[in-house]
Structures are given as C-alpha cells and as structure tokens.
Amino acid sequence: MAIVVVIAGTWLGYQQLADSGCTGSVRLSVAAAPEIAPAVEQIASQWITGGAEVSGTCVAVDVTEATPADIAGAVSREHNVALAGLGTAPETVAVPDVWLPDSSTWLLRLQQEASGFKPTKISSVAQSPIVLAVPEPIAKTFGWPDKKMSWDQLLSQFGTDGTLQVGIVDPTRDAAGLNSLLAIGAIAGSGQEGLLKKTQALTALSENDSSLREELLQQFPKSTDANDLGTSLQAAPLSEEDVVAYNAQRPAVQLSAIYMEPSPTPLDYPYSIMPQVVDTAKAAAADGLLAQLSSAAFKDSLAAVGLRAPDGTYGAAFQAPVGAPAASPAVKSSGGADGGKAASGVSGNDLSRAVGSWVATTLPGRVLAVFDVSGSMGKAVPTAGGATRAQVTQAAARGGLSLFNNKWAVGVWRFSTNLDGSKPYKQLVPITPLTSGRPQLEASIGELNPVPAGDTGLYDTVLAAYQEVQKNWKAGRSNSVILFTDGKNENADGLGQDEFLDKLKKAQDPKKPVRLVLIGIGNEVDKGELDTISKTVKGSGVFIAEDPARISDIFLEAIGTRTGAS
C-alpha cells in the first residue's frame, strides 16, 4: 500500500508538472535513512506539486527508505571492497542518485576503503544528538533530570558489582553505536589503564549488542516490576530521535534521554550526490531538491519525525525529551568529496581505530602475528623516550593482545634470517585459542628482541605465514596474517621477488580467503615493496607507521579496515 501511495503521489505530481509547461523529464532516485525518509518524501511531493523543474525540464523524485548499512553494502559491491563487519549487498539493492544516510561516518568509511568513491556534493540537512537511553525509573536513580551524567561516570560502572545492563547496536552496522565508541575511546585515554577501561566498556556493551536498532529497543523493560527493571536492558547509546520515536508509542516504561558530557558526534544526515550523477539535468535536479531540504518548511517536517535542523534547533511539533537542550551544537562539517572529516572533525582513521577496537574485542578470529627482529629493530625511537623499535612494537603487541577477546586464536612468529636453520622465521607459539594460550602468548612477546646481525627474510616469511594460516583455515572467522617490519627483503639465500609473488598468487584459494596485513615501521621501510606484495592478495592492506610510537593506532586501523592501504 505504501509503495502504491508513493507511486501515485509521484505520478500525480508529474501530471501537474506536465500541465505547468515544463517539457521532458528527469527522474531522481533518493535513498534515505528510514527515520528521515517521510520528511524528505513530504517536501519532495510539495516541490513537485508546486512545479519542480530545472531549465524547463520536469523533475520527478523517487524517495525510498533504506538502512544506511544496505546502501553502504551496495556502494562497496560497486567498488569491489567491503567494510569491516558489513560485507556487500545483494544485486537487488541499487546505488541511488542521492544518498541520505544518518551519518557522514558511512561516507568516510567507504572512502577509506574505496579511493574512487567521491560524492560530488555533501551537505548536512538534519541532526540528532547521541544520548544514553535509560528507562526512566533507572535514570532517576542517577539523579536525572536534575543531574547530568558524564562518560567517566558511565565507564566507572563497568567491572563493578553495580554494573548496568548495557547494550549497543553493532557499531560496524550503526552510526550511533560507532560514534559512541569514539566518545568512549576519547574518555578512556591511552596507556594500559585507558586500554583496560575501553576493553571493559566494549566487552560490557557487546553482551547485549544487536544488529538492528529495533532489536535493541525490544530489550528495554516492558513493566515497572523490579525484576523486569533489573534483568532488562538498562542503558544504551542511541540517537535522540530513537528515544522520541520509542516514547511516541507510549510504552509502559518510557526512556529518558541522558545528554552525556562531552557530547558524542551527532548524527548529521549528509545529503550526498553520488559520483555516477554526471548528467547535467540530473545534477541540477539533485541541487534543486537540496535547496528544498534547506527550507524552513523542511525544519518543521523534521520536527514531526523527531529530528533537528543542522544548526541543532528544532521546528514546530518536536516532542523534546525531558532535559533536552533547546539547541544542540551545530554540525560543523559533513565531510567533502575528497574525503575530509565528518561532523565534529572525526576522520576516517579515527573511525577505523574505533571499528578495529570493536572487532578485536567482540568478534571471533584467527591471526598469526609475525614480528621483524632484524638488527635495525634495535634503533631508538626519538618520540618514544629512546625506546627501540622492537620495544615499541612489543608494547603495541601486549596492548593488542589484551584487546582480543577469548573468541580469538592467536599465534606468534619472529623473523630475520637464519632463525631456524636456513629458515628466516621461527614459530614461538602456534595459533592457539586465547582461552588457554594467553599466558604463553604474553610470554612470547618478551622473545621479540632484535638479532644484532640479522637481516630481513621478508619474502620467505610472508609466504610461509600465509600458508600456515590457510592450512587450518576456519569458516565464520577472520583468518589473517599481520606482519610488522621496518625494512625490505634482504635474504640472499631465499626467494627472489618474481618467484615469491608467483608462489603467493598460486597459494590463494577463493574458498579459503586469508587477509594479509603488512605494517611498516619507521621511515626506512620499502612501501613500494609492501604494496607489490599486498596487491597480490585480494583484500590485503599496507599500513605505514612512519613514527613507530604510533604502532598501536596503526594496528587498530588495520584491524578496522578490510581493504585498501594507508
């Protein structure tokens, strides 16, 4: 019935346009996030009824509801890439002329993976702050609405007897969840203490994670019974619009919207004209619709569906939650066609690190970590207080290992030259489930000290590591090799480049994909050589830490992406 109504409305508008004197037609397809689609459809219909045209050509607009994850999957499919935790969409999901997701974080994640994805125009048309949704009786125990709550207070709840039953929508599939991870990561801080705080928070959130917002909302209590309140979901980071829409259904237990300090990056609803729109008339139609969505009338349409204008204010009929600010901070930017940053200055690298933390902390996987112990790893790192490259890498390895949950299996190798007879590599720990092997793996990190006269047997090591992971490949898991090196292949007794690349290419099995992640350390690494290796293995990537002190950040970026290089 809804489809019939939309088609009928579009056809009626087109007939009226034909009567208004415009000739020909240009049809614009728009895919909008479900919560904003009704407002966009209303304004588009009014525009058409009023005589929508560009340079005398009639304009028709088809607005469809589409979850951002579905369209992101379709864009990924078109560019032959994939977002971590998402995958690609079926052929039935088409890429529209204009995409209006809930957040510009989707655009940045895609641009991180597909350099060719460059929308011709991006402009925020709405906003919804990220809040902590808490059942009203629970919120009152925190002093709501008189007292505000900080992320520090929330983090202090984890790992205690009074831990809240918290949940989140999978951040790899949901922008509100991802933006919340950014806020948690910033508050948790760096170092071992910060990593522990973040890991505790992510682990707690993952206990009640959902793939869809609707699924998560169903976990909130259905009555004020003490047992129901105590065993149901008690807190979740969601958008203000989610709370408004939930409470509009008049549930037995309403949700409170707690506006956290500091405020997470809001959902900024970027109106994005897609790269394939090259036709002049269609591009003009897209610009015309954007102008309509920047009007005062659209602000009121947004208010009716629980959304704010980009400047953080709201129009008539907005059902503001108790304690809601009259205006939230304005969206500063919605990114650019060349990448750039999302609202509040969030970059693609920030997003990759947040996604990487979530993947390592919550999802299952198998990884063989391979560490360069050649003599050059003994060089001091000025930005790390004089610690050597090896010591900085060992610290990153310890931090990374503590982040992986017990669903992972991890192995450790070291490599240089002649470490095991003529082999340039040596196994320290085979790929072992962390449930039983964590102490052994932690101890192995201490064996990653540089070999004073050792060179770099890169080619033989990469091939052997790839074959090792493939040998015991597991379905339903991420099967990866992550190799750290500060040099280039220097092994006269080993494989030459052509022979190595040929063997690596032949070793691949489409039914048993293994991701190869190459992390270059320092400014002496041969990035061109690493790129050549990476291009041989589909879905692999090269990540360069020119400042070795940033290895931990680069490591998380590598985990949080699926393709491409940085």
Determine, yes or no, domain membership for 289: yes
**Predicted local confidence at residue 158, as pLDDT:** 64
Closest by CA position to 383, among listed 254, 177, 250, 552: 552
Q: Do 414 and 478 lie in a common domain?
A: yes
Q: Containing domain of residue 480, as a range? A: 364-560
Determine, yes or no, domain membership for 354: no
**Predicted local confidence at residue 335, as pLDDT:** 52
**Predicted local confidence at residue 334, as pLDDT:** 56
Rounded to whole angstroms, the Cα distance separating 167 from 216 reads 7
**Predicted local confidence at residue 191, as pLDDT:** 66
Q: Do 344 and 319 lie in a common domain?
A: yes
Cβ(113)–Cβ(83) below 8 Å: yes
Phi/psi class of residue 80: alpha, beta or left (left: φ > 0; alpha: ψ in -120 to 50)?
left
Q: Do 22 and 120 lie in a common domain?
A: yes
| CATH classification of the domain holding 111 | 3.40.190.10
Determine, yes or no, domain membership for 565: no
pLDDT digits (tens, 9 = 90+) for 440-449: 999 999 999 9
Determine, yes or no, domain membership for 359: no
Q: Do 292 and 321 lie in a common domain?
A: yes
Q: Do 443 and 511 lie in a common domain?
A: yes
Regions of the chain short of the pLDDT cut 70: 1-21, 157-163, 190-192, 332-344, 562-566
Determine, yes or no, domain membership for 355: no
pLDDT digits (tens, 9 = 90+) for 204-222: 888 888 989 999 999 999 9
Closest by CA position to 431, among listed 362, 478, 489, 389: 478
Last residue of a domain, one of 192, 224, 258: 258
Determine, yes or no, domain membership for 80: yes
Last residue of a domain, one of 348, 381, 415: 348
How many structural domains is the chain composed of?
3
Residue 199 backbone dihedrals phi, psi, to 5 degrees:
-65, -40
Q: Do 212 and 145 lie in a common domain?
A: yes
Task: Please give the C-alpha separations between residue 474 and each of 199, 513, 514, in angstroms, as whole numbers.
Answer: 25, 10, 10
**Predicted local confidence at residue 11, as pLDDT:** 44
Determine, yes or no, domain membership for 40: yes
The DSSP result for 53-107, as a single string, is EETTEEEEEEEEE--HHHHHHHHHHHTT---TTT----TTS---SEEE-S-THHH
Alpha helices (runs of H) in 189-321, residue ranges in sequence order: 191-206, 213-217, 226-231, 240-248, 280-292, 296-304
Determine, yes or no, domain membership for 356: no
| CATH classification of the domain holding 477 | 3.40.50.410
The number of C-alpha atoms within 13 Å of 482 and in the hemisphere containing its C-beta is 29
Residue 298 backbone dihedrals phi, psi, to 5 degrees:
-70, -30
Q: Do 252 and 282 lie in a common domain?
A: no
Q: Do 335 and 404 lie in a common domain?
A: no
Q: Do 388 and 343 lie in a common domain?
A: no
Last residue of a domain, one of 315, 348, 381: 348
Q: Do 7 and 113 lie in a common domain?
A: yes
Q: Do 421 and 551 lie in a common domain?
A: yes
Q: Do 158 and 227 lie in a common domain?
A: yes
Cβ(379)–Cβ(388) below 8 Å: yes
Q: 4: buried, middle or exposed (CB in 10 Å: 19+, 13-18, 0-12)?
A: exposed
